[in-house]
Amino acid sequence: MDPINPSPPPLEIAIIGCGIIGTVLALGLLNNSPSPSAIRVKIYEQAASIREIGAGIAFTANARKCMSMIDSRLPECVRAVATPNGDPDNPTNYMQFVDGYTHGPEDTEVGQELEGRTVYRLHTGERGFEGCHRAQFLEQVMKLMPGGVVQLRKRLVGLEEDGEGGRVKMRFEDGSVEGADAVIGCDGIKSLVRQHLLGAANPSAFPHYTHKVAYRGLVPMPQAIDKLGLYRATNQHMYGGPSGHLLHFPVMQQKRMNVVAFVNDPDGWPLQKPMSQPATRDEAGIAFQEWGPTVRAIIELLPDQMDKWAVFDHLAYPAREGYSKGRICLAGDAAHASSPHHGAGAGIGIEDALALTTLLGLVQRDVLKRGEIGKGVLLEKAFQAFTKVRYERSMWLVQSSREACEIYEWNHPEFGSNMAKAHEDIRRRSDKIWYFDIEGMLRELEEEYLR
């Protein structure tokens, strides 16, 4: 170290939430630093253990490319737990859509109503649709995490910026107080960071109910194959119909078939009520009792007892002023929670992680050049650039995901039950998600930061 020009203290970044986006972001910050001593990262997690809620998740080729740019080891985490769609030796790189409702009185056997019916396909790219279990993927990611980064049982109760150029103070439920140069909220759809950022009285601080419920269950693959046949059971399918839709895809190395069935719910769902509630197969069966024999057979495969998930998002009350204030920033579901109808919420969150990894790398570079004077201003510029570049795309996904649900469920005013026209619209939307110009985003981020 040059005694005349000593190295500045490391940039200290606090991440709230140890889910998929928080852990991937932490790895990116640690592994893309211009100097090993230039950054220090801490993740604060309110739970007593590392866990992920939910079941199936799929990462597109675009999301996996972002992962490789964040940390070259991350795509292997996907491969370790991903399940090929169809034949493992020759995976089917398609998402498939079909009318699962229309049938006649003579259609009583599984698949009979689908004979000769058009199956609409979207090519997702090589290995572009491979399901895995959220918890299994997070477990693989955590194997890469250095010791001492994650602190458990840290429920955030307060955030405060300590003056211009100062630090952000975090108060936790256990009475402890921690400080950091910046705080990034990756604490999911019920984000406490979002509430502190936007104000507890602001409706934008919370997600809101979409009046959709998803029945979710895992079916042992031998039972699924016996009922549906090998191809249908081991390949992703989505069945559309009036005011509901059902999809399934293989997970857990084809040991299970993940089933998700969406239906309308006219009632309310208070935010304080857990988003996952017990449900029964009979309850789901009532919602799909008028559908074709294939969909009814899939419902019959579900366990007697399962879960139903309330679908919330940020469409009605977005963070209109952006994803940051000062040196506090939101990412992933904390910033732009989307309904799951595009299956892209996690992938968009991975894009966020790459964007923040890139921007905070630029901050570290400038701090190393200039010293820590003005560090707070640089962090604010980085977070403002993040909002500027990421806001339109991420909120477009929130909007489009809702619209995709209307299309699948024959409620869209332009398409109705015309699945041929609807398919072309879904293709256009999906291409915007899957074939994103990642390098262009990175250039735009740097340009905004340098303004």
d(CA 99, CA 97): 7
How far does Cα 403 stand from its chain's mean position? 18
Residue type, 266: P
Contact yes or no for 205/36 (Cβ under 8 A):
no
Other Cβ atoms less than 10 A from the Cβ of 273: the count is 11
Q: How far is CA 308 from CA 131, 219, 249, 344, 442, in A?
A: 20, 15, 18, 20, 39
In angstroms, rounded to a whole number, what is the distance separating the alpha carbons of residues 386 and 24? 17
Instruction: Decide: 157 and 288 in contact? Cβ < 8 Å.
Output: no
Rounded to the nearest 10°, the torsion over CA 12, 18, 20, 24 is: 20
From 40, 64, 134, 216, active-site residue: 216
Compute the half-sphere exposure of residue 451: CA atoms within 13 Å on the CB side of its CA.
14
The residue behind tokens 């640690």 is: 30
Tokens (6 digits) for 431: 């291409």
CA-nearest of 344, 324, 315, 336 to 448 is 324
Answer for the pair 11, 360: CB distance below 8 angstroms, yes or no: yes
- Which among 389, 404, 386 has a CA at the least distance from the CA of 345? 404
Asked if 156 and 44 touch (Cβ cutoff 8 Å), the reply is: yes
Token reading at 288: 């799909």
CA dihedral over 281, 287, 292, 294, signed as positive or negative: negative
Which residues partner with 306 through β-bridges? 279
Would you report the helix, strand and coil content of the chain in percent, each value rounded to 5?
40, 25, 40
Those residues whose C-beta lies under 8 Å from the C-beta of residue 272, and which sit 6 or more positions away, are: none
Q: Is the dihedral of CA 87, 92, 95, 97 positive or negative?
A: negative
Known active-site residue 390: no
Q: Which residues carry out catalysis?
A: 216
